[in-house]
């Protein structure tokens, strides 16, 4: 079976690529999300749970920025320059995966106090929730399109309607 570069990346070097490129970022995002719910519904903006949430957010943002800085020049650019994409679903899967940096990096910067520094706590919490939610959306879109067999898409042009 043919597979997208996203799925190929996860399948290669088992189990390490799966852990490095999917498990760690998604576990961070899910941990942040779950703790975020407890913080928001309990209106607990301080304490140990918020500190844990903040540490996870910073680590997730810095970690995924490292992934982006590694994969963009070593995978995305060469695939584009050499025209090696496996149909448009491959481009969607990899692009949405890498776009996670636009959510996790600002999440880290927010918790490091480098952005929205003078914003009220409620605004920061909204931004925090938007950033982690945005990452989960793009990560799931990447996963869905990443699991599609590109041969199906390239063979669809000849389908009778």
Residue 135 to residues 26, 59, 85, 106, 139, Cα–Cα distance (Å):
9, 14, 23, 11, 6
Mean pLDDT of the chain, nearest integer: 92
Own/partner contacts of 47-55, CB < 8 Å, gap of 24 or more, are: 54/111
Taking every pair of Cα atoms in the chain, the longest distance, rounded to a whole number of angstroms, is 61
At 153, is the pLDDT very low, low, confident or very high (cuts 50, 70, 90)? Answer: confident
Overall pTM surpassing 0.85 (yes/no): yes
State whether the Cα torsion 128-22-68-93 is positive or negative: negative
pLDDT of the residue at 161? 37
- Calpha distance 46→112 (Å, rounded): 15
pLDDT of the residue at 155? 61
End-to-end CA distance of the chain: 25
In terms of Cα–Cα distance, which of 63, 41, 44, 76 is closest to 135?
Answer: 63
Which pLDDT tens digit goes with each residue over 86-108? 999 999 999 999 999 999 999 99
159 pLDDT more than 60: no
DSSP states of 56-109: HHHHHHHHHHHHHHHHIIIIIHHHHHTT---HHHHHHHHHHHHTTHHHHHHHHH
pLDDT of the residue at 158? 47
At 1, is the pLDDT very low, low, confident or very high (cuts 50, 70, 90)? Answer: low
Q: How many C-beta neighbours within 10 Å does residue 46 have?
A: 9
């Amino acid at each position: 079976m043919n597979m997208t570069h996203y799925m190929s990346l996860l399948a290669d070097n088992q189990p390490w690529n799966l852990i490095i490129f999917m498990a760690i970022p998604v576990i961070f995002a899910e941990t942040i999300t779950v703790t975020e719910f407890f913080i928001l519904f309990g209106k607990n903006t301080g304490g140990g749970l918020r500190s844990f949430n903040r540490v996870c957010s910073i680590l997730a943002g810095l970690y995924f920025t490292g992934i982006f800085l590694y994969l963009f020049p070593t995978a995305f650019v060469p695939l584009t320059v050499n025209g090696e994409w496996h149909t448009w679903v491959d481009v969607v899967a990899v692009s949405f995966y890498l776009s996670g940096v636009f959510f996790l990096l600002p999440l880290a910067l927010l918790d490091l106090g480098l952005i929205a520094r003078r914003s009220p706590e409620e605004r920061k919490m909204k931004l925090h929730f938007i950033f982690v939610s945005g990452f989960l959306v793009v990560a799931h879109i990447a996963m869905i399109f990443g699991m599609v067999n590109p041969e199906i898409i390239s063979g669809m042009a000849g389908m009778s309607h």
